[in-house]
Chain A
Amino acid sequence: MKVTAIQHKYMTRAFWEERLRNIIPELRDQLISYRRSGAAPGVFRSMVLKEVGDHFRSWRVIILMVIILLTCIGSLYTALTAISDTGSAGNSDETFFFLHLFTLSDGSLPPFFVFIGFLGPLLGISLGFDAVNSEQNRGTLSRLLAQPIPRDYVINAKFVAALLVIALLFFVLSFTVIGAGLLTLGIPPTPSEFMRILSFMLLSIVYVALWLNLSVYFSVRFRQPATSALAGIAVWLFFTVFYPLIANLLIKAAAPSPYASGRSVYLFERFRFLLMQVMPNELYSQATSTLLMPSVRSLGPLTMEQMEGAIPGPLPLGQSLLLVWPQLTGLISLTIFCFILSYLAFMRREIRSR
């Protein structure tokens, strides 16, 4: 009897309406009490603003911006010459003409998205490598922690500020490319092209945030900014240069003979695909190329049966996103993992003066 009474209570509409009505004031009260128990309101905002200001005043960020702006102009130029060379080739990407700005190249310079994939890690590392240790070396960290702010504000403010700088940079760059394309090509991007460019930008921001978090972790871990910068660059070099070498060795060793069965060839291809998937830069380049080239229909190995009956043609955005969903979640979870790592390392650290 009792059980039915309880079920009955949960089943009524009035009960849930009551719950929903109460949930928002409850959340609001909790938020207010959280804020009252802690720092004064607006403190986090002024910390972030100060960090952003520091970034824009520093030579490091100015130099980075100039480098990235130059490469952007360079790759835009090569894309435009490539587009005028090919003219109106009758391929299936014809409807996505505007995206060529980001993906095409006449061969003298890599296209825009490859450039961002290459410079993104550098940008992330250079924004974060001295986040915590330089404050400690200057003796400002212990002074900062003696103020009535929760400790995680320090590291959160640094992360948010760097992320804002990155987001601003990427939005400015992409919109510049779009604007230049509009002027020179004379055709506007379609809504779906615009959405693809937007998701490319968001993905790039996540990718740079991954390297940012990694270098913030190194800045907590290592006392000298030079060491933490080197550690970040070492990880980046490992994944861009050495890991592919090692992976190639493994792949060569495991390569089946030309007379091997179809199944073992398939397994070998899957193994090769998996080995490559470990690299964050590979995840990023797969995801971006799929997003920017709607004709990309698959990433892993496919059998002839799977290909049968497929009509070559561009995928809609939703399907492209679905195709790179594992890469996207992989990148986002790696980013979150690096953030948690640096967060925990910072929170556990005992801060002494200098």
Chain B
Amino acid sequence: MQSSTIEITHITRKYGDFTAVDNLTLSIGKGEVFGLLGPNGAGKSTTILMLMGLTEPSSGSMRICGLDPVRQPIEVKKKVGYLPEDVGFYDDLTGPENLVYTARLNGIPEREAEERALLLMRRVGLGEEMDKKAGKYSRGMRQRLGLADVLMKDPEVIILDEPTLGIDPSGIRDFLGLIVSLSREEGITVLFSSHHLHQVQQVCDRVGIFVKGRLLAQGDIASLARQLFADSDESGQEYGLEDIYYRYFEGESKDESNSHSA
């Protein structure tokens, strides 16, 4: 138990009659890169909001870094960095100024904050854009500034919600490479939500497949493939995440058509 950084047990979140997250149980170890994979509206963002203490679960319990996000949201936010989907910045401040403001909110001393901001700007590949106002940044640059913003507080865990949207292909490679190196070198646990199969496959140690609020399967890609295709004829073949993903979806849509016809 000690080794897992994120521990989710039987979490359910309902909005009225709609169940966004349905009895989710998940545990993520320290230093792991975990990919939450699923289509739009599967409950990935809701799960993330609950982990950050930004919304409360209807039932179930969670621990993140040994803390309960419902009772100690501020302590959780000191240790966990969250990059929301389509992050925004104060347009009339430059990139480093935005980072320094975040540092102030985290109580980091001014001197240290400025040094750290410049360092992180270079690290995420925005070294050339130091004096530019954040309002002039492109979407991909904003996303990279978002990663720097998350790293300002020196987090133990980072949670990224669809972080690669709007970045060009070579930018995505750099971005994902950076995430992997953060995890390997600094032991940061990464929770990564995406609906891009290839990206998840590239960086994640383990994957959870999330459909309609339920976690259908979890594990590393090889074991997921084994689980799924063990009984099929082509068991010798190499399977990618794509095959696994579509296998689940086909299963889901079949269920649905059955229930409609019944």
Contact = CB atoms under 8 A, between A and B. Distances in A.
Interface of A: 37-43, 46-47, 50, 54, 57, 138-140, 142-150, 350-354
Contacts of A144: 105
Contacts of A140: 88-90
Given A350-B55, A353-B161, A146 B81 contact: yes
Interface in B34-92: 45, 49, 52, 54-55, 74-75, 77-78, 80-82, 84-92
Contact of A147 (B55, B106, B146): B106
A352 B45 contact: yes
Nearest to B72: A37
6 contacts: A37-B74, A139-B89, A149-B74, A149-B77, A353-B45, A354-B88
A47 B89 CA distance: 15
Contacts of B88: 138-140, 143, 354
Contact of A39 (B74, B80, B84, B146): B74
A346 to B, nearest CB: 13
Given A37-B74, A42-B107, A146-B54, A354 B102 contact: no
B87 A147 contact: no
Given A146-B52, A148-B74, A354-B88, 19 more contacts: A39-B105, A39-B107, A40-B106, A54-B90, A54-B92, A138-B88, A139-B84, A139-B86, A139-B89, A142-B82, A144-B105, A146-B77, A147-B77, A147-B105, A148-B78, A148-B153, A350-B55, A353-B161, A354-B86
B107 A353 contact: no
Contacts of A47: 105
Contacts, number: 86
Contact of B105 (A57, A138, A149): A149
Interface of B: 45, 49, 52, 54-55, 74-75, 77-78, 80-82, 84-92, 101-102, 104-107, 146, 149, 153, 161
A353 B87 contact: yes
Contacts of A39: 74, 105, 107
Nearest to A43: B105
B19 to A, nearest CB: 16
From A42, A142, A150, A352, name the one whose CB has the most chain B CB atoms within 10 angstroms.
A142
A43 B104 contact: yes
Contacts of A50: 101
A47 B90 CA distance: 13
Cβ-closest 9 pairs across A and B? A40-B107, A139-B88, A353-B84, A146-B82, A148-B77, A138-B88, A147-B105, A142-B84, A148-B78
A148 B105 contact: yes
Contacts of B102: 143, 147
A43 to B, nearest CB: 6
Given A37-B74, A41-B107, A148-B77, A138 B91 contact: yes
Nearest to B162: A353
Nearest to A350: B55
Given A146-B81, A149-B105, A352 B74 contact: no
A143 B84 contact: yes
